[in-house]
């Protein structure tokens, strides 16, 4: 049995995108540097989205330029792109890093994002699910043309703050569409931390069915990733269940930072991502392993926590 689990730390992106404080670029760079030392598999560094929508990440280009010469071997850098404009931003960063630092490919992966619910899709991207998928088709093709991997996120896989409960079939239908468009990795997001093992299991089962046995993508990594938020304290139980179902890739955030701005309602703010240290603890407790250095992750988590007031 494969006991190796892949970890993507999303703190610099998902951790900071919803904060009222806009963190200075050099402090974000320090967090990314601290994550280098952890040997995490992937760092989701930032997003190439509209700065009118997410001003917190409006410095993506500057941040990548700041760390371009320091990227270690073996760590993947990824960034969110909602449309072709976003992909152009990522490609421009790569061209600059190649020219200035001789880095073959600074950003290795771009992530497109849609939702299982129409309400969330509209609030998050001003587009229906169908419209987001139409936008993604050329983005995915062009990303592949430039040798980039593509992750496809589905938000609100269990519950939506606007449309209530989501059926597993609905999630699997969106998953099928993304897989048909050619994504290399499917990321299931429990955006508001509503999942319990009982509600998450049928979603994973339904989606795994649509993967048709493709547990590994052409890059040799797991095709399915699970992205949990720990709102009601169920994330660790969900990780245990997902591991038992065969999931071998998870997202988490150093310091448990973050949440999604459009997952909040007027009365309740979307809470943090599952903390990476907590995830590592659960994985080890279950007898699985990762490449991550625990002491280095503790140090990175401290730096992450100190970024916000």
Hey, which residues are catalytic here? 260
Ramachandran class of 111: left when φ > 0, alpha when ψ lies in -120 to 50, beta otherwise: beta
Q: In angstroms, rounded to a whole number, what is the distance separating the alpha carbons of residues 197 and 296?
A: 30
Which residue number, 51 or 72, has a Cβ lying nearer to ligand HMG?
Answer: 51
Q: In angstroms, rounded to a whole number, what is the distance separating the alpha carbons of residues 176 and 114?
A: 13
| Residue with smallest beta-carbon separation from ligand HMG | 189
| Footprint on residues 84-123 left by ligand HMG (CB under 6 A) | 85-86, 89, 113
Binds ligand HMG by CB under 6 A, chosen from 2, 4, 126, 268: 126
Binds Mg ion by CB under 5 A, chosen from 9, 14, 44, 187: 14
Q: Does 49 bind ligand HMG (CB under 6 A)?
A: yes
Q: Does 190 bind Mg ion (CB under 5 A)?
A: no
Which residue number, 61 or 296, has a Cβ lying nearer to ligand HMG?
Answer: 61
Which residue number, 94 or 250, has a Cβ lying nearer to Mg ion?
Answer: 250
Handedness of CA 243, 275, 14, 57 (dihedral sign): negative
Give the contacts of 125 (CB within 8 A, at least 6 positions apart).
82, 113, 114, 132
Instruction: Return the number of other C-beta atoms located less than 10 Å from residue 296's C-beta.
Output: 16
Which residue number, 261 or 299, has a Cβ lying nearer to ligand HMG?
Answer: 261
CA 252 to the chain's CA centroid: 8
Which H or E run includes 183? Answer: none
Question: Rounded to the nearest whole angstrom, what is the least distance from the CB of residue 160 to ligand HMG in the complex?
Answer: 10
Please identify which residue in the block is written with the tokens 């949990």.
228
Question: Rounded to the nearest whole angstrom, what is the least distance from the CB of residue 53 to ligand HMG in the complex?
Answer: 4
Q: Which residues of the chain form contacts with ligand HMG (CB under 6 A)?
A: 14, 17, 47-50, 52-54, 80, 82-83, 85-86, 89, 113, 124-126, 153, 155, 189, 191, 227, 260
């Amino acid at each position: 049995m494969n006991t190796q689990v892949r970890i993507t730390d999303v703190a610099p992106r998902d951790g900071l995108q919803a904060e009222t404080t806009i963190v200075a670029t050099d402090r974000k760079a320090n967090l990314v540097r601290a994550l280098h030392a952890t040997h995490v598999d992937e760092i989701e560094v930032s997003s190439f989205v509209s700065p009118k929508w997410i001003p917190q990440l409006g410095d993506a280009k500057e941040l990548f330029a700041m760390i371009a010469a320091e990227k270690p071997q073996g760590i993947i850098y990824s960034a969110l792109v909602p449309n072709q404009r976003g992909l152009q931003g990522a490609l421009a960063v790569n061209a600059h890093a190649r020219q200035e630092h001789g880095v073959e490919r600074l950003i290795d992966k771009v992530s497109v994002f849609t939702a299982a619910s129409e309400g969330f899709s509209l609030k998050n991207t001003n587009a229906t699910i169908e419209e987001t998928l139409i936008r993604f088709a050329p983005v995915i093709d062009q990303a592949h043309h430039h040798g980039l991997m593509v992750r496809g996120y589905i938000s609100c896989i269990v519950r939506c703050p606007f449309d209530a409960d989501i059926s597993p079939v609905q999630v699997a239908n969106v998953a099928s569409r993304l897989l048909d468009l050619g994504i290399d990795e499917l990321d299931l997001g429990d955006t508001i931390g509503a999942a319990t093992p009982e509600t998450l299991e049928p979603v994973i089962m339904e989606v795994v069915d649509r993967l048709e046995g493709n547990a590994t993508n052409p890059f040799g990594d797991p095709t399915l990733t699970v992205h949990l938020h720990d709102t009601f304290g169920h994330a660790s139980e969900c990780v245990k269940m997902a591991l038992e179902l065969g999931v071998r890739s998870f997202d988490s955030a150093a310091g448990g930072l973050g949440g999604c701005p459009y997952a909040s309602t007027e009365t309740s703010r979307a809470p943090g991502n599952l903390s990476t240290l907590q995830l590592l603890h659960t994985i080890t407790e279950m007898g699985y392993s990762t490449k991550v250095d625990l002491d280095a992750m503790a140090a990175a988590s401290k730096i992450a926590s100190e970024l916000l007031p």
